[in-house]
Amino acid sequence: MKKNGIAALVLFALSGCTTMFPNDVFSPEKAAAKIIKAESPQSHINVYPSNLGIYSTIFERAAVGRIREELERYCHRHSGDLIPFANDAPGFLCSIDPERGITFAARTDTNFGVIEKRAQDTETFDNTAESWGYVSLAHQAELINQARAKVISEQEKQRFQATNKQKTVGMRVCQEQGKVRYQGTVEQVNGNKIKVFVEQAAVIGAPELRPAGFRQESYWVNFWDVYDCE
């Protein structure tokens, strides 16, 4: 039978040298509270219900740094993975044993905060950690997809503008058919029709690969069927 996450953490800590690191026997929030009291005795600690974490206003910058260092050591001593927040946000997430729910996040600025991830309310933890600066893998993937979609949208816009641009003799133009991109030069212009000498063809994404059976030829096409690719 699997032990409860925090209980397992306590038992894990008790198996080591707890006299040197007495806070290791406590859960992350309790350990943080004791570290704050030791490093900044004048600071008041607000302890909220079990799914909301602990918070303290710490005005001394040096004390904030010392408390963060002690929490980082706490994480490392329990073989946790320490993940700094994105965009230089002050804080980190410590994942000690995700399968048993031993994960906590720390916001390490004047408004210091520590919150544990609990199985009964992971949404509160995730929302809080993200508001502090942690970017989850799912959110990272979403941001990457948004960035890619923006690039694709811009490329499509440029392609549309290039496709609807009136062509002139000597202009380099391209056309994509399936996975192959054809490239050529405009030889003649006759109204909406242009004569293109197709010089080369390559597999999109692998320009060193050439489609079988390709040969250079001239074709008459509508000017909007190709786009400017100079």
The whole-number pLDDT of residue 184 equals: 95
The whole-number pLDDT of residue 162 equals: 63
The ranges assigned to domains in the chain are 5-135, 166-228
- Taking alpha carbons only, the member of 69, 53, 49 closest to residue 113 is 53
pTM of the model: 0.53
Task: Output the CA torsion sign for 47, 50, 51, 53.
Answer: positive
Q: Which CATH code for domain 166-228?
A: 2.30.30.430
Q: In whole angstroms, how far apart are CA 143 and each of 8, 70, 77, 125, 196?
A: 35, 32, 33, 20, 41
- Helix or strand run (H / E) with residue 24: none
Task: Output the CA torsion sign for 149, 155, 160, 163.
Answer: negative
85 DSSP assignment:
P
Phi/psi-derived region of residue 120, left when phi > 0, alpha when psi is between -120 and 50, beta in every other case: alpha
Helix intervals (H) in the chain: 5-14, 28-39, 61-77, 122-132, 137-163
SS in 3 state form for 64-78? HHHHHHHHHHHHHHC
Query: Averaged in consecutive runs of 10 residues, what is the pLDDT profile of the chain (230 residues)?
Result: 46 49 88 94 86 89 94 89 86 79 86 87 85 76 69 70 75 90 93 91 84 90 84
Q: List residues bridging with 54 in a β-sheet.
A: 47, 114
Residues 6+ apart with CB under 8 A from 142: none
